[in-house]
Amino acid sequence: MASRRERVYSRREVEALIAEGRSIIVMNGKVLKVDAWLKYHPGGDKAIMHMVGRDATDEVTALHSAEALERMHAYQIGVIEGRWSNFLPPIQGGQFRMKHVIDTEDQISDHENDSSSQGSSGEPSPLFEPVDVQVRQRKPAMSRSSSATSMSSLDVDNEKPHNIHDPESEWTKDQIKTDLERYPELDPKTQDDIMQKYRQLDQRMRSEGLYNCNYKSYAIEISRYSFLFAMFLTTLHYGWYCTSALFLGAFWHQLVFSAHDAGHMGITHNFHVDSVIGMIIADYLGGLSLGWWKRNHNVHHIITNSPEHDPDIEHMPFFAISHRFFKSLRSTYYDRVMTYDPFAKFVIQYQNWLYYPILCFGRFNLYRLSWEYLILGLGPRKGPAWWHRWFEIAGQFFFWYWFGYQVLYKSIPDGWSRFAFIMISHAVTMPLHVQITLSHFAMSTADLGVNESFPQRMLRTTMDVDCPQWLDFFHGGLQFQAIHHLYPRMPRHNLRRAQKLVQEFCDEVGIPYAIYGFYDGNKEVIGRLGDVARQAKILAACQRSIAESGEMH
């Protein structure tokens, strides 16, 4: 068994395995075949699929406990030697060659090399010239509209728009160029240095106790939750329905922060204990599915701000934070096309004005997504989380019994009062949706390729919100999203202490650390939405002009 696990795999052998449909990831120099774990993974199969063919060391370590990391050794089939060069995962459009194809190309390449060494005076064939072969292998992935593609600076320079008047190609190139200028080089040496310093910082934070939960802080949290819930019941009893709805909405708003902590195992660090805490909070008290959130959120943490892959920025037809949504992209998370239809074309042109009103209804959409996840059984049905679905379904019935029947039906006398109660209690949670979108909507959505390190991508696509310490309870740790994305399992009450260390890390490696005040952060988001809205108007004007003139692409 030991010899099998110590077998050295070449990059081509790994490519051939992936071409056969195997789910292969690299972690700490070990080759793992995780096919059998896909349907059991508590965080969902999509999170694993985005790591296929990649060195997933930082992503996996950041999101898993020490016990989970230890169990992964069971899937080891070999090792690699030297630095691993990432593939583009199949779910993102990566193309992989079967073993016989690789062998054939190797024979052709050897034959070509032999011919060259014999002094052939003929011109090199375009088919076999090395640079052309590399470009030819990239083209299938770049042509797929259903998934993202990695674009290096060479790709950007060589990209030719179908129509020189098409503004979308220029917008894409400008965004990528801006990121390439602002952030460290993508060469292996620079990115490896960033990864090593990031891992050293993680060890320093552990040694300083920043992964230890401060349970006194949760005693304060519980006191706050109890006060809000008691005021909700008291005012409901006296018939102050609108006031009662305000307190219930504030109760839900605050609860989500602890559900978020539990979903990341940031409270007890025990999978089962934190899962139960999270499901009681999310399902039984809030009517939302923790399992749905974990499946969604893990993908968000791995492929942050990718229009094709990150569900947290896929809000068509109401919001588009990138012009790339104008292409009717296919979401790999939802397995459907996000159609840029006439309704979307109209709404997106005014999205900066509709941002806050639409977010007032955000919680209703979360109900829909939760029930879709539970009814369709999208979570694991076997493995350590097999029972979560049934525990959550019970929680949903419990929630709608106490909220839907006992509160809305039994305690409120008439239809208009019930309607007002529902709308107010749900609208009060709107700041939560602002806090969630605030840290990402204004940040980059450009794809800089598979060579970008995990910490650089997280810091490039995420920003922090600056606020006084006494206001931390209102943001619930979500104001430290950049730090949280680097170290998602760190308890939120320690994130402020970690901020200075992260800032020092960013200064050392040359990565800009984005931090705005709450007001300025909102301005950035509205500005981004406004920019995309203007782009939508320009594109619509171009399309009308083309239609009127009878031109075709």
State the residue for tokens 């069971």.
Answer: 74
Greater confidence, 150 or 459? 459
**Domain annotation covers residue 456:** no
Average pLDDT over every residue of 237-251: 97
pLDDT recorded at residue 165: 42
Confidence band of 113 (pLDDT split at 50, 70, 90):
low
Percent of the chain residues topping a pLDDT of 90: 80
Please name the residue that has the structure tokens 């193309």: 95
- Reading the block at residue 506, the tokens are 């960013």
Q: Which domain holds residue 79?
A: 11-100
Question: Tokens representing 187?
Answer: 């060469």
CA dihedral of 414, 415, 417, 423, whole degrees rounded to 10: 160
CA distances from 400 to 153, 395, 403, 408, 505 (A): 53, 9, 5, 10, 47
Interval 229-256 mean pLDDT: 98
Looking at the fold, whether 229 and 85 belong to one and the same domain comes out as no
**What's the confidence (pLDDT) of residue 100?**
81
Would you state the pLDDT for residue 2? 54
pLDDT tens per residue, range 203-233? 999 999 999 999 999 999 999 999 999 999 9
pLDDT at 543: 83
Residue 50 pLDDT greater than 60, yes or no: yes
Q: Is the pLDDT of residue 171 over 80?
A: no
Q: Is the pLDDT of residue 494 over 90?
A: yes
- Mean pLDDT, residues 503-516 taken together: 97
Distance between CA atoms of residues 4 and 76, nearest Å:
9
The reported pLDDT for the residue numbered 24 is: 96
- Where residue 114 falls among pLDDT bands split at 50, 70, 90? low
> From the CB of residue 420, how many other CB atoms can be counted at a distance below 10 Å?
15
Q: Does any domain span residue 369?
A: yes
* End residue of a domain, out of 100, 135, 158: 100
Handedness of CA 144, 145, 147, 153 (dihedral sign): positive
pLDDT reported for residue 139: 33
pLDDT at 102: 76
User: What pLDDT is attached to residue 125?
Assistant: 33
Q: Given 100, 124, 145, which residue is the final one in a domain?
A: 100
Same domain, 217 and 89: no
* Chain segment 290-330, per-residue pLDDT in tens: 999 999 999 999 999 999 999 999 999 999 999 999 999 99
Please tell me the distance from the alpha carbon of residue 105 to that of residue 101, in angstroms, as a whole number: 6
Q: Establish if 57 belongs to a structural domain.
A: yes
- Contact predicate 137/128, CB 8 Å: no
Q: Is the pLDDT of residue 154 over 90?
A: no
pLDDT computed for residue 115 by the predictor: 56
Q: Is residue 203 part of a domain?
A: no
Asked whether residue 432 is assigned to any structural domain, the reply reads: yes
- Per residue, the 3-state secondary structure of 159-192, as one string, reads CCCCCCCCHHHHHHHHHHHHHHHHCCCCCHHHHH
Q: Find the helix packing angle between 518-549 and 167-182, rounded to 10°.
A: 150
Distance CA(396)–CA(87), nearest Å, equals 41
Whether the pLDDT of residue 71 is over 80: the answer is yes
Lowest mean pLDDT among 232-241, 384-393, 542-551: 542-551
Half-sphere exposure of 84 (CA within 13 A, CB side): 26
More confident residue, 149 or 455: 455
Q: Which of 70, 85, 100 is the last residue of a domain?
A: 100
Q: Which of 411, 474, 478 is nearest to 245 (CA)?
A: 411
Please check whether residue 463 lies inside any domain of the structure.
no
Whether pLDDT at 122 is above 90: no
Dihedral angle, C-alpha 4, 39, 262, 249, nearest 10 °: 160
- pLDDT band of residue 116 (cuts 50, 70, 90) is low
Q: To the nearest whole number, what is the mean pLDDT of the chain? A: 88
Average pLDDT of span 87-91 = 96
Instruction: Give buried/exposed letters for 86-112 (b at 16+ CB in 10 A, else e).
Output: bbbbbbbbbbbbeeeebeeeeeeeeeb
| Mean pLDDT confidence for 104-109 | 72
Q: Do both 232 and 381 map to the same domain?
A: yes
Mean predicted confidence (pLDDT) in 417-428: 97
Q: Would you tell me how many other CB atoms lie within 10 Å of the CB of residue 403?
A: 17
* DSSP summary character for residue 307: T
Instruction: Work out the angle between the directed axes of helices 430-441 and 362-376 (0-180°, nearest 10).
Output: 80
Q: Which of 476, 536, 445, 460 is nearest to 225 (CA)?
A: 476
Give the C-alpha separation, 53 to 22, whole Å. 10
pLDDT at 110 over 90: no
- Alpha-carbon gap, residue 272 to 362, rounded angstroms: 29
What number of other Cβ atoms are within 10 A of residue 387's Cβ? 12
Q: How far is it, in rounded angstroms, from Cα 131 to Cα 317?
A: 40
At residue 168 the predicted structure's pLDDT band, cuts being 50, 70 and 90, is: low
In a domain? residue 172:
no
Structure tokens at 476: 């619930």
The secondary structure of 215-284, three-state, reads: HHHHHHHHHHHHHHHHHHHHHHHCCCHHHHHHHHHHHHHHHHHHHHHHHCCCCCCCHHHHHHHHHHHHHH
Where does the pLDDT of residue 147 fall: very low under 50, low under 70, confident under 90, or very high at 90 and above?
very low
Please determine, for residue 149, whether its predicted confidence score (pLDDT) is greater than 60.
Answer: no
* Spatial distance between the Cα atoms of 245 and 408, rounded to a whole number of angstroms: 11
Residue 23's pLDDT is 96
What integer pLDDT is reported at residue 545 of this predicted model? 84
pLDDT tens-digit profile of 443-477? 999 999 999 999 999 999 999 999 999 999 999 99
Q: Is 298 part of a structural domain of the chain?
A: yes
Q: What is the pLDDT of residue 126?
A: 31
Structural domains counted in the chain? 2
Average pLDDT, stretch 117-136? 35
What is residue 129's predicted lDDT score, i.e. its pLDDT? Answer: 31
Q: Are strands 30-33 and 515-517 parallel, antiparallel or unpaired?
A: unpaired
